């Protein structure tokens, strides 16, 4: 044999060895992989079962019962609060009407005071014209002027206080109106959020448990294609022995240095022919294995992916709990804040009413001084004839004083009634609020606690649903590893295809070289067949022996059917 052919055979043997090792390693890894895959299938079933149990355990029956017990006990308390606030609002609106009437009376008192100031100036002018006789009267009129000025100042203060009071009443009325509007829906909305929230959550848990239970049952269907994958691994020993036969055959071309070159070439061509046949069988088995196992892997992947899409869709649907409890919790804070503002405004109003009462006392005191001055003026005119010219002025003073008396009296009576009513209402409201402050705060806080409990339950259910898994991460990793191993088998098949083509080339070259050498004949044919017979005696696969017998035109012993291993 030529050196080139010899080197080619040596290279083929070396690469066949390498391919055989890789092929064996790949099949061994697959053999180790699939028992793990079966184990992870069982583990996945347990994981899905645990996830399903966690979802079922997240039902909210006890939380719902707790919330409903609280709502039942708090219902009458909040209803009474609302009725009390509505009553107070009615009294505040009535107070606004009284202040408006009071403002009109105060305006008349101010007008009378301004007229009295003018009258006092006229009287003072007349007294000065009367000379020494009017000196006493001028003192009286000067005092009248000063009291008129003070009265004007007091009425201005009262008017300002009245406006401020009216503004405060209206502000309190607006707060109470807002509070009433909020209270009308506040408690019912909290009740609805809690009761309906827990009911909806419990329904969602049941729906999720049913949906995931169905998916869990279907997920077990992945076992059959996995068992199909395992069956494809069992050809590994046949493939290894087949490649060993090819290597053994190729090595035979170097083992008999006593034969002629032509004999060697003819034998090499026959060995190459046999090797091509064996490799063709190996390649076909790998192709069938890759196709069969790959089909099962693809089936598993598609099966898992379809279930995963459905799982994610179910998670998305089951995680939708509708409106959250944050809005209701915000209303609870708003409600408490409005209650606090109403109480603060009521207390401020009470202080302003007290200040108005003090101002009317000052006004009543000034009215008494007016009356005293009028009496003193009449006495002075009666005693001094020279002052008869101011009698009309005094009459005007009397008339204005009487008007002031009526207006101040009316204002005082109205104020007393108003102060008595308003103070009583404000005080009563303040006491009720103070008495209920702690319970109100506790009730609202309890509402917030229940809302947080609802949100916590939602989060617990959401986590249980989101964490539901049909297959363990290890199972999915093993499937990916199986796919990679099959891809590696496909590449090794391609390598064997190339080696087969090189052996076919070797056969052609050996045949051509043998044809160019003279001699040979029947003896050559016999020698070749004897060598083939002795060589295939070491084969362990009957099919390969049979193939060699056909090539060498010799009979082989009866053995097991094609593809089975023969032991010797």
- Supply angle C-alpha 266, 271, 272, rounded to 5: 95
Give the confidence band of 437 by pLDDT, cuts at 50, 70, 90: low
SS3 call for 557: coil
* Between 285 and 461, residue with greater pLDDT: 285
Query: CA torsion sign, 230 to 235 to 239 to 241?
Result: positive
Question: How far is residue 326's CA from residue 458's CA, in Å, rounded to a whole number?
Answer: 12
* pLDDT beyond 70 at 435: no
* pLDDT beyond 90 at 500: yes
Give the confidence band of 60 by pLDDT, cuts at 50, 70, 90: low
* Between 306 and 63, residue with greater pLDDT: 306
Give the confidence band of 568 by pLDDT, cuts at 50, 70, 90: very low
* CB-CB contact of 18 with 270 (8 Å): no
CB-neighbour burial class of residue 549 (10 A; exposed 0-12, middle 13-18, buried 19+): middle
Q: What was the pLDDT predicted at 524? A: 54
Q: What was the pLDDT predicted at 551? A: 65
Q: What was the pLDDT predicted at 153? A: 84
* pLDDT beyond 70 at 523: no
Q: What was the pLDDT predicted at 233? A: 72
Q: What was the pLDDT predicted at 184? A: 67
Question: How far is residue 139's CA from residue 546's CA, in Å, rounded to a whole number?
Answer: 157
Ramachandran sector of residue 48 (left: φ over 0; alpha: ψ -120 to 50; beta: rest): alpha
Q: What was the pLDDT predicted at 519? A: 61
Q: What was the pLDDT predicted at 202? A: 78
Q: What was the pLDDT predicted at 525? A: 59
Question: How far is residue 433's CA from residue 170's CA, in Å, rounded to a whole number?
Answer: 20
Q: What was the pLDDT predicted at 72? A: 77
**Mean pLDDT of the region 236-260:** 81
| pLDDT one-digit tens code per residue, 144-178 | 778 878 888 888 888 888 788 778 878 878 887 88
* pLDDT beyond 70 at 413: yes
Q: What was the pLDDT predicted at 22? A: 93
Q: Look over the chain and give the mean of its residue pLDDT values, rounded to a whole number.
A: 77
For residue 73, CA distances in Å to 62, 368, 435, 492 come to 17, 59, 18, 78
**Mean pLDDT of the region 15-32:** 89
- Helix-helix angle 61-129:391-466, to 10 degrees: 160
Greatest mean pLDDT among 40-44, 109-113, 272-276 lies in: 272-276
Q: What was the pLDDT predicted at 566? A: 35
Give the confidence band of 552 by pLDDT, cuts at 50, 70, 90: low
* pLDDT beyond 50 at 562: no
Give the confidence band of 563 by pLDDT, cuts at 50, 70, 90: very low
* pLDDT beyond 60 at 414: yes
Q: What's the half-sphere exposure (Cβ side, CA atoms, 13 Å) at 82?
A: 17
Instruction: Give the burial string for 8-39 (b: 16+ CB within 10 Å, else e).
Output: bbeebbeebeebbeebeebbebbeebbeebbe
Strand partners of residue 565: 541
Query: CA torsion sign, 109 to 114 to 115 to 117?
Result: positive
* Between 359 and 392, residue with greater pLDDT: 359
* pLDDT beyond 90 at 420: no
Q: What was the pLDDT predicted at 515? A: 83
Q: What was the pLDDT predicted at 491? A: 93
Q: What was the pLDDT predicted at 495? A: 94
Q: What was the pLDDT predicted at 498? A: 94
* Between 255 and 205, residue with greater pLDDT: 205
Share of the chain above pLDDT 70, in %: 82
Q: What was the pLDDT predicted at 80? A: 78
3-state helix, strand, coil in the chain (%, to 5): 90, 0, 10
User: In degrees rounded to 5, what are phi and psi of residue 541?
Assistant: -115, 120
* Between 47 and 556, residue with greater pLDDT: 47
Q: What was the pLDDT predicted at 289? A: 86
Q: What was the pLDDT predicted at 564? A: 44
| pLDDT one-digit tens code per residue, 196-223 | 777 777 777 777 788 878 878 887 787 7
Give the confidence band of 492 by pLDDT, cuts at 50, 70, 90: very high
* CB-CB contact of 64 with 195 (8 Å): yes
Q: What was the pLDDT predicted at 133? A: 61
Q: What was the pLDDT predicted at 116? A: 76
Q: How many CB atoms lie within 10 A of CB 89?
A: 19
Which DSSP letter does residue 537 get? T
SS3 call for 565: strand
């Amino acid at each position: 044999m030529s050196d080139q052919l010899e080197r080619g055979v040596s290279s083929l043997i070396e690469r066949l060895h390498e391919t055989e090792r890789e092929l064996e390693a790949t099949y061994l890894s697959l053999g180790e992989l699939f028992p793990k895959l079966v184990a992870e299938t069982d583990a996945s079933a347990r994981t899905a079962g645990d996830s399903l149990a966690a979802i079922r355990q997240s039902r909210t029956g006890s939380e719902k019962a707790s919330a409903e017990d609280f709502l039942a006990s708090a219902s009458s308390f909040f209803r009474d609060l609302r009725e009390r606030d509505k009553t107070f609002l009615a009294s505040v609106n009535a107070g606004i009407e009284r202040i408006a009437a009071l403002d009109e009376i105060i305006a008349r008192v101010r007008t009378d005071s301004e007229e009295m100031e003018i009258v006092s100036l006229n009287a003072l002018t007349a007294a000065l014209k009367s000379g020494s006789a009017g000196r006493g009267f001028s003192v009286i009129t000067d005092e009248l002027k000063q009291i008129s000025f003070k009265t004007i100042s007091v009425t201005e203060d009262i008017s300002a206080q009245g406006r401020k009071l009216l503004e405060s009443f209206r502000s309190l009325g607006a707060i109470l109106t807002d509070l009433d509007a909020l209270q009308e829906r506040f408690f019912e909305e909290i009740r609805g959020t809690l009761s309906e929230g827990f009911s909806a959550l419990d329904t969602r848990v049941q729906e999720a448990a049913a949906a995931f239970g169905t998916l869990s049952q279907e997920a077990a269907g992945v076992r059959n294609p996995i068992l199909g994958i395992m069956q494809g691994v069992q050809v590994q020993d046949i493939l290894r022995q087949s490649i060993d036969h090819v290597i053994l055959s190729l090595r035979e071309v170097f083992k008999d240095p006593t034969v002629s070159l032509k004999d060697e070439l003819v034998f090499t061509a026959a060995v190459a022919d046999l090797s091509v046949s064996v490799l063709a069988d190996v390649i076909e088995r790998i192709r069938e294995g890759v196709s069969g196992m790959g089909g099962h892997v693809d089936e598993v992947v598609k099966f898992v992916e379809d279930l995963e899409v459905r799982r994610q869709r179910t998670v998305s649907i089951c995680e939708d709990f509708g409106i959250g409890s944050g809005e209701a919790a915000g209303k609870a804070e708003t409600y408490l804040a409005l209650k606090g503002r109403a109480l603060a405004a009521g207390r401020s109003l009470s202080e302003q009413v007290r200040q108005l009462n003090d101002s009317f006392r000052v006004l009543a005191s000034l009215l008494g001084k007016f009356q005293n001055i009028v009496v003193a003026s009449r006495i002075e005119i009666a005693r001094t004839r020279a002052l008869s010219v101011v009698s009309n002025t005094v009459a005007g003073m009397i008339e204005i004083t009487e008007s002031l008396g009526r207006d101040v009296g009316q204002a005082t009576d109205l104020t007393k009634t108003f102060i008595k009513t308003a103070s009583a209402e404000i005080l009563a409201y303040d006491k009720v609020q103070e008495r209920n402050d702690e319970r109100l705060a506790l009730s609202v806080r309890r509402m917030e606690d229940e809302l947080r409990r609802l949100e916590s339950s939602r989060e617990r259910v959401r986590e249980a649903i989101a964490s539901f898994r049909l297959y363990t991460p290890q199972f999915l990793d093993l499937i990916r590893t199986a796919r990679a191993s099959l891809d590696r088998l496909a590449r090794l098949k391609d390598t064997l295809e190339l080696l087969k083509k090189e052996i076919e080339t070797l056969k052609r070259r050996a045949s051509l070289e043998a044809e160019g050498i003279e001699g040979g004949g029947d003896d050559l044919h016999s020698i070749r067949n004897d060598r083939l017979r002795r060589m295939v005696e070491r084969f362990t696969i009957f099919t390969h022996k049979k193939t060699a017998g056909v090539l060498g035109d010799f009979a082989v012993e009866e053995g097991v059917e094609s593809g089975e291993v023969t032991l010797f």
